[in-house]
Structure 1
């Protein structure tokens, strides 16, 4: 149980600290809870992650803000929790991440054909429909308005021109399905009412013009989907906090496939997920993702798109 306990303690310290007091408190409690840890250790390692456990308990209507109540609920309802954990994945689909992708999208040759790997419900496929606030600088005029603190990079002067959008996922979600939207809501951390509001606003955008979402594998099915992009648009394959769920050999195979495609590749992943020759020291102990274009790291970002620190 030591490895699982360490995972929860690290989540509390590097991801929830300063962002979600409830999940920081709960993660620390789980890291010391032998009864819950013993049950988690019956699951495959990828299924033991805090976001998945906490999201499932929220989805089932259980308590996540008081550790003692969470413990009692988890122990009493473990059969139902385990069933959901084994069939679900963390498909957060955080639209705030569009704010850290926007400077790269806007700098590429226009128009764009966007193809997201691990697209969930496809909400990050609409960067041209949202508005952004970088300090006092506002870009776009849509809803939701995505706020981001940008350091070392000038905010883009305009939004990208997107003429085609598609997503690839092993289990794509539908914004018109109430159960799928409820799962997306359950993955949002307890205090984050602003993220719930922008989930609803982004879901309305996607429901009005549904993207092309394809059920498939990121290696086997990517090339065929990419061929559907318009030839006169710049193909951009991108992904956000997805590759940690993919076994390392498949990540390597994906990188080989995406490098052979025409266009560009944007990755926004944890620093230990994809190999980079060199990276500067992270700005703090908090977990930061690496934003990279065509294999070249550009910036540190936070997981919900709230911060981008450019270093390239």
Structure 2
């Protein structure tokens, strides 16, 4: 896939009808040879559309008008490229907790949670949030996470979490203003509700900061699993992060997690974790991830936890 193709795909399958601003930007970048040439000077994973747009927002550049956006990127390219090289899309979207909840709530309680690619660890608090699947609301505190779910009987109770920790190559400190600013810069322009939810979740995490280990997912995971309390159900989970892991380490992680005494919950692109005999995804043309438990696919999910289409047992 060329860089131009990547931006067209992002516009069509992720931003369309979700962020008009990012859809316009992505389509314009895809047709701009000068910007594409600049982007092609950074490593391929760093050309990601929402990483570029997040960096521009973090640098206080404009995203509401393409001409101004383009002028900023070209004139400030050294600064933009430097940030692209050192940053990643650590979105830490807590809406994805609504995708995890039906699986977490159905496992034997209590739980010890380990998140791989944890960013600031905000998805380590699924027991602290409230959820709405259709007409029913579960939970009485924290941000309210809406998820349009089909084929699913919503959970009757929140999970009981007695231990939580995470791993990340570059964990973010939710109590540090600069790290919170980066998380906010990754939120798409029109998504004020996500920004509000992030701030509510940040307050919850700041009151009881998560334990986050800086390091490689393969190197650090066995010791962290061994440290988790043995009288709790140990759960390793990750959401929309494995695409950022180089293929050899990704393969090593998939082999490792299947050998550990844990349940494994994944929400990833089916091109990143391949499953046999997947049913066709809902036919709206949007990008979909697959929710799976212990390698068994259960549902199609949409970005940021907006929807879930259950097909598993």
**TM value normalised by structure 1:** 0.99
Q: Report the counterpart of residue 136 of structure 2 in structure 1.
A: 137
Equivalent residue number for residue 185 of structure 1: 184
Question: Residues 149-188 of structure 1: matches in 2 within 5 Å?
Answer: 149-188=148-187
1:214 partner SS: strand
- Counterpart residue number, 1:243: 242
Deviation digits for residues 181-225 of structure 1, max 9, x if unmatched? Answer: 000000000000000000000000000011110001011111011
Equivalent residue pairs, number: 311
5+ residue gaps in structure 2? none
In structure 2, the partner of 1:266 is: 265
Q: Shift in Å at residue 163 of structure 1?
A: 0.2
Measure the CA separation in 1 of the matches of 2:297 and 2:240. 15
Equivalent residue number for residue 226 of structure 1: 225
Q: What's the secondary structure of 1:191's corresponding residue?
A: coil
> What residue number does 1:112 align with?
111
Deviation at 1:169, TM superposition (A): 0.2
**Alignment partner of 1:294 is 2:311:** no
Does 2:136 align with 1:125? no
Q: How is 1:1-312 mapped onto 2 (pairs within 5 angstroms)?
A: 3-283=2-282, 284-312=284-312
Q: After TM superposition, where is structure 1 displaced by more than 4 Å over at least 4 residues in a row? A: none
Output the CA distance in 2 between the equivalents of 1:48 and 1:22. Answer: 18
Residues 287-309 of structure 1, C-alpha deviation per residue, up to 9 Å, x if partnerless? 01100000010000111001000
Query: Residue deviations 1:5-27, cap 9 Å, x none?
Result: 00000000000001100000000
RMSD: 0.8
Structure 2: how far apart are the matches of 1:227 and 1:22?
Answer: 45
- Tell me, in whole angstroms, the C-alpha distance in 1 between the residues paired with 2:231 and 2:82: 46
Report the Cα distance in structure 2 between the residues aligned to 1:237 and 1:278, rounded to whole angstroms: 24
Tell me the CA shift for residue 263 of structure 1.
2.1
- The alpha-carbon deviation at position 248 of structure 1 amounts to 1.7
Query: For the residues of structure 2 that align with 1:182 and 1:44, how far apart are their CA atoms?
Result: 24
TM-score normalized with structure 2 length? 0.98
User: Matches of 1:200 and 1:34 in 2, distance apart?
Assistant: 38
1:76-119 alpha-carbon deviations (Å, 9 max, x no partner): 10000011111111100000000011000000000000000000
2: CA distance between counterparts of 1:82 and 1:184? 19
CA distance in 1 between counterparts of 2:246 and 2:195 reads 31
